[in-house]
């Protein structure tokens, strides 16, 4: 119930903010546009090249993980077939080998796909510069065509004319509250 009230209050606050922003924009005659991120990704050649490179890298990582998983499964199958005839010492050896393979697979998965892993770093190196270029292009279009605000549908990139920045006024108000 507490979460419902919180969500309800946040929804009302967001609605009011949109209404206020909308009336401010209409009152000032601001020019607004939007960018469809999916169209950019689909039609920007550099993005497509980066996506192809990403797919190639990801496939190599996936293939390596699959190979490690297959080795582990084969080791487990072999152990299951032989465990009734193995001595306790051999069982412990095989179980230790299985644990080592499992730990190696887990370590590989964390190294590649975990937070700060190779996949995340590669994605950032491929996409980061492109996002900067897209943002520069949005800003250039905004300035050349007199747009005050340009939103994107998904990425959070965009442009807002700096004359709409009221951060200093909010900070001043915060100082008055204390």
Q: Residue 148: count other Cβ atoms within 10 Å of its Cβ.
A: 17
- Give 148's DSSP letter: S
Asked if residues 33 and 140 have their Cβ atoms less than 8 Å apart, the reply is no
According to DSSP, the residues that pair with 159 across neighbouring strands are 150
pLDDT, position 47: 92
Q: How far apart are CA 47 and CA 39, in angstroms?
A: 11
Please tell me the predicted confidence (pLDDT) of residue 28: 61
Between the alpha carbon of residue 114 and those of residues 104, 117, 124, the distances in Å are: 14, 5, 14
Predicted local distance difference test score (pLDDT) of residue 22: 55
Residue 31: per-residue pLDDT: 85
- Residue 63's pLDDT is 97
pLDDT along the chain (178 residues), means of 10: 46 47 58 86 93 96 96 94 91 94 96 95 94 89 88 77 80 82
* Distance separating alpha carbons of residues 82 and 91, to the nearest angstrom: 9
d(CA 121, CA 105): 20
149-152 vs 158-160, strand pairing mode = antiparallel
**CA-wise closest residue to 64 among 114, 109, 118:** 109
């Amino acid at each position: 119930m507490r979460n419902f009230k919180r969500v309800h209050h946040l929804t009302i606050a967001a609605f009011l903010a949109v209404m206020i922003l909308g009336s401010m924009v209409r009152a000032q005659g601001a020019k607004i546009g939007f960018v469809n991120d999916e169209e950019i990704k689909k039609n920007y050649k550099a993005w497509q090249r980066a996506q192809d490179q990403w797919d190639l890298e990801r496939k190599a990582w996936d293939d390596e993980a699959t190979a490690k998983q297959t080795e582990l499964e084969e080791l487990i199958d072999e152990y299951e077939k032989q465990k009734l005839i193995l001595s306790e010492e051999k069982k412990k050896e095989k179980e230790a080998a299985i644990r080592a393979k499992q730990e190696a697979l887990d370590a590989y998965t964390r190294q590649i796909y975990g937070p700060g892993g190779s996949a995340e770093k590669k994605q950032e190196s491929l996409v980061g510069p492109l996002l900067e270029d897209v943002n520069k292009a949005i800003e250039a279009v905004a300035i050349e065509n007199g747009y005050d605000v340009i939103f994107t549908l998904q990425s959070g990139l965009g442009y807002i004319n700096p004359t709409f920045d009221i951060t200093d006024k909010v900070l001043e108000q915060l100082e008055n509250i204390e």
